[in-house]
Structure 1
Amino acid sequence: MAGKPHLDEVDVRLVEELRKDGRASFRSLAQHLDVSEQTASRRYHRLTADRILRVSVQPDPYAQGLLPLIVRVHTEGSTGRDVATQVARRADTPWVETLAGTTDVTFTTLTRPATEDSARLLDALARTRGIRESVPCMTLRIFTGPASWTGEGPPLDPYEQRLVAALVQDGRAPFEKLAEELGSTATTVRRRLEQLCERQALQFRTEIDLTLLGRPVETMMWLNVRTRSIEDIGTVLAADPRVRFCAATTGPYNLVLATHHPTAGDLYRMQTDTLGALQDIQRIEITPTVRVVKRHGILREGHLLRPPNGKTPPPPTPL
């Protein structure tokens, strides 16, 4: 597909409904859009076939025994794009972006606390040409989503791990298809997925280039907040519809946000009116997002999403 894809009003509303509930039935979507069920289904399948839209799932990383790290990388010269591409090849980096400002690349990596994952990654970064400095920050609490993830919930059992892996490939896969992949029954799949949702152990994610929804301005915000107010401020900001990610971290900043806006003016109002009204924010750094390389584990090629290969991800590729 050449040029920028065009989404009409029905397409945009369909995507917005899927961003609320990635597994909403076509009947439910049709009712919200005031179109026929066939139209809702046809629009969805066209967007996915054109690689514009994809529904996936994001499980609670702590329930998988994983510890997320947010890494800020400072590069030399014009090597930021190449570094981001190399990092995105790894199976353990679900989110990679290039930024404007002193931080050229930021990414999230999923590590296993009882292993040397973090040490091996940092060693690899230190050997990578063009990287001047990397600053890893441990993610302590994720505020965004249906529940705050803190690592205090029950772990996923082997069946749930396999179910999540299948949903990562297609978050809207029918129960019958999931049952076939898992060697189970549709009734069991439905019941186990409902249990995961009740525990708020996963989030369905509808991935699309946000510029197609009229939100071309994206940023990372790095906040230094008085420790007594991290919980309150994180909770308040996570409820803001412009915030797609909010987490408490270690490091020089203890609250990290990812935001999207229709205009620079909206970003300005968030900075002055929203953040300005919150006490105990001591310092703010805002870095514009220049390029999304990977998000929710899905590689991006301009406006287009790389299709899933239907296979188990390969082991991490050395940098």
Structure 2
Amino acid sequence: MLAQRNDAYTVTAFPTTNHVEALLLPAEHSAVDVIAEEELPRMGDVRSSEITLITQTYRVGSEWHGGALPPALVARLREDISRDDGNESNSIELTAIDRSIAAALESDGRATVRQVALSADVTSQFVGRRMRLLFQSGLLQMRTEVSSDLSGLRLEAHIRLAVEASRVEAVGRHLAADPAVMYCVATTGRYPLEFIVRLPHLDCLQPWLNRTFTDLPGVYVTESLTEPRLIRRANILFDNELSGKT
């Protein structure tokens, strides 16, 4: 249900604890009240819920590479898909054709420029130029999910921390610098910091926590959820076979 929302970015279930997490990106702030007061209460299987707002992002999944890539390659991958010799991309405004391009790529992220052009009913040359500007502006981004069978990182743990308000920034940046942390944000909820860590297996989690927080007194792990079943991440909808792997 949540995964089918147009503003759903990630939806993750934890079958062993009956938890579901969803990151929604509503177009307007007023939508938050509608979700909390109208939509969630209508979901019969929801026993309780909590809505928090992200106040600061320290690392997002699309920036994460697990420390497996050399710095030179990471730098190359983070470059614009082409050289930007002006400021045109900074003032780009979305058009109906842009939305058609995005919809085509959402349907098939491996579609060729020609296929996207046919879908949007424009020329390949136009699509190439427009996609370059969309990528440079940040309005269009790529994301790839790698199977744990390839990465060897079979554990994904979603962790929430209790941290003094004055230390949230420092702790958030400390976590974001760790290659095992794929996602880290500050929120308005009961837990000032939330992050996701990827490790080879469950036995690695406690030693990693001990190493990471040894020099950070006053930081407490208040909740740790493992064995996630990925339902949606970005615009990728997972089937049961893939989402069951952790």
Which residue is 2:83 aligned to? none
One of 30, 43, 46 as aligned partner of 1:131: 46
Whichever structure has more strand as a proportion of its residues is 1
2:231 aligned to 290, 293, 297, which one?
A: 293
Per the alignment, in what secondary structure is the counterpart of residue 23 of structure 2?
Answer: strand
Q: 1:113 and 1:276 mapped to 2: Cα distance?
A: 41
- Whether 1:119 aligns to 2:33 is yes
Quote the Cα distance in structure 2 between the aligned partners of 1:257 and 1:215: 16
Distance 1:162 1:246, change over 3 A: farther
How is 1:1-319 mapped onto 2 (pairs within 5 angstroms)? Answer: 86-99=1-14, 104-113=19-28, 115=30, 117-122=31-36, 123-142=38-57, 143-144=59-60, 145-146=62-63, 157-158=94-95, 159-211=97-149, 213-278=151-216, 281-304=219-242
**What residue ranges of structure 1 are gaps of 5+ in the alignment?**
1-85, 148-152, 306-319
TM-score (norm 1): 0.57
Q: Given residue 247 of structure 1, which amino acid in structure 2 is its aligned partner?
A: V
Closer, same or farther in 2 for the Cα pair 1:104/1:114, shift >3 Å? closer
The CA RMSD over aligned residues, in Å, is 3.0
Identity of aligned residues (%): 28
Judged with a 3 Å threshold, the aligned counterparts in structure 2 of structure 1 residues 204 and 280 are, in CA distance, closer, same or farther, namely farther
CA distance in 1, matches of 2:103, 2:91: 18
Structure 2: unaligned runs, 5 residues or longer: 64-77, 79-89
How has the CA–CA distance of structure 1 residues 280 and 173 changed in structure 2, closer, same or farther, with 3 Å as cutoff?
farther
Shift of 1:253: 1.3
Per-residue CA deviation, residues 97-152 of structure 1 (Å, 9 max, x unaligned), is 2226766111122212254x2233222222322322100011233332459xxxxx
DSSP-derived class of the 2:8 partner = coil
Deviation at 1:190, TM superposition (A): 2.7
Q: How many residues align?
A: 214
Query: Is the contact made by 1:209 and 1:303 (CA closer than 8 Å) also made in structure 2?
Result: no
8 Å contact 1:100–1:288 — kept in the other structure? no
Greater RCO structure (CA 8 Å; 6+ sep): 2
Mark the CA change 1:238 to 1:104 in structure 2 (over 3 Å): closer, same or farther.
same
Rate the CA distance shift 1:114–1:218 in 2: closer, same or farther, 3 A.
Answer: closer
Partner of 1:316 in structure 2? Answer: none
| SS at 2:226 equivalent | strand
Task: Tell me: CA distance 1:291–1:183, structure 2 relative to 1, closer, same or farther (3 Å).
Answer: same
1:188-217 deviation digits (Å, cap 9, x = unpaired)? 333333333333444311134435532221
| Poorly superposed stretches of 4+, deviation over 4 Å | 100-103, 153-156
Partner of 1:61: none
Taking structure 1 as reference, are residues 238 and 168 closer, same or farther at Cα in structure 2, changes over 3 Å only? farther
Q: Counterpart in 2 of 1:64?
A: none
Q: Equivalent residue for 1:78?
A: none
* CA distance 1:107–1:287, change in 2 (3 Å): same
